[in-house]
Amino acid sequence: MRIDPATGSIRQTLVASRVLGDEISVSPDHSTVYYAQRSGCDAEIKSISTGGGTPTSIAPGQLPAISPDGAKLAFARQPLLTPGCLPNQPNLASLFKVVIHTLPAGSETVLSVSPQVQSSGLFAPISHLSWEADNVRLAVSTTAVQDNEGWALSIVDTSAAPYYVRPGPGVTAVSVTGSPDAQGSYIREGIFLPNGNLFISRACCGGVPIHNTSRLMWEVTPSGAFVHQVAIGYPDLEHVSLAASATGRFLLYLAGSDLYVSENGKRPSKLASGMIAATWM
């Protein structure tokens, strides 16, 4: 649905049900919304006009992210991590992929994990994707592998990288810096800003038993160096679905299901509730 950025009121409902959360994407010309829709244990990337109408199916996948030039759609192709949907096989690592889908032709480049990672049996679930302004680098957020460990934000050079996580060429990990406890903290999610920096959700701390003591919304450099604090979040809530407007003037994110908006990096204000994903149009 489209909501009023000033009041949070609903302007228009585009898709009424079964939309998957965390990531939706709008084309650079503001004409098309890309989203994922669930059917049982399957997920399909679809598009719909911002004016409404009949959705168009694009490909199996989830977490769509359109490139700034509108020529490429990145998305995750992976099992749904919900009860009853994980495939019944001993090693799932090879089932997790990032797909670069060209528009409108539909050719695909698939980034998987290295043989080393596959042989370990550990998989790296993808949780968010974000393009850099160069239409080449992709920020890939991955969630915990096991025991609340393994969270990562990686910068992937899609022109060179065969994999979406390390080890492998063309993939650089964004370091966790600052306090509290940089060693024990992790980046829950991150996106590129128009200026080339990153907007991240930083959490402390990893490991079990799970007990988060801080959630910080920061602007950092691609290497992870601190630039600016946008907000102090709620320790007991996930802070996800990060998005920036085309100029970077406005940022948004979800804290739980509440939508917060920040202007010019200032303290965010709550705009709406009951959300599973958000982005700018």
Distance from C-alpha of 52 to C-alpha of 162, rounded to nearest angstrom: 37
The reply to whether 142 falls in a domain is: yes
pLDDT in tens, 142-154: 998 777 888 999 9
CA-CA-CA-CA torsion sign (73, 79, 85, 87) = positive
Domain assignment of residue 210, given as a range: 2-82+89-272
112-120 mean pLDDT: 90
Distance from C-alpha of 215 to C-alpha of 262, rounded to nearest angstrom: 16
What does the CA dihedral 185, 191, 192, 197 come to, rounded to 10 degrees?
Answer: -20
| Confidence band for 209, pLDDT divided at 50, 70 and 90 | confident
Could you give the C-alpha distances from 99 to 112, 162, 238, in angstroms and in order? 9, 11, 26
Nearest-5° Cα angle at 261, 258 to 262: 145
The reply to whether 141 falls in a domain is: yes
Nearest to 100 by CA among 42, 48, 61, 44: 61
* Residue 207 pLDDT: 86
Distance from C-alpha of 79 to C-alpha of 87, rounded to nearest angstrom: 7
* Residue 123 pLDDT: 87
For 256, the enclosing helix (H) or strand (E) is none
What HEC string does 173-189 produce? ECCCCCCCCCCCCEEEE
Length, in residues, of the chain: 281
Nearest to 99 by CA among 58, 70, 133: 58
Q: What are phi and psi of 195, to 5 degrees?
A: -85, 0
pLDDT in tens, 48-70: 999 999 999 999 999 999 999 99
Asked if residue 205 has a cis previous peptide bond (ω within 30° of 0), the answer is: yes
The reply to whether 138 falls in a domain is: yes
Nearest to 70 by CA among 125, 28, 121: 28
The reply to whether 21 falls in a domain is: yes
* Residue 148 pLDDT: 84
**Residue 3 clears pLDDT 80, i.e. is over it:** yes
pTM metric for this prediction: 0.95
Q: What is the domain-level CATH number for residue 256?
A: 2.120.10.30
Q: Which tokens hold the place of 80?
A: 């749904």
The reply to whether 72 falls in a domain is: yes
Q: How many CB atoms lie within 10 A of CB 280?
A: 16
* Residue 201 pLDDT: 98
**Bigger pLDDT: 34 vs 148:** 34
| Residue that is written with structure tokens 């890309």 in the block | 34
The reply to whether 279 falls in a domain is: no
- Indicate the residue type of 267: R
| Confidence band for 120, pLDDT divided at 50, 70 and 90 | confident
Q: State the first-to-last Cα distance of the chain, in angstroms, to the nearest integer.
A: 11
**Residue 95 clears pLDDT 80, i.e. is over it:** yes
Q: How many domains does the chain have?
A: 1
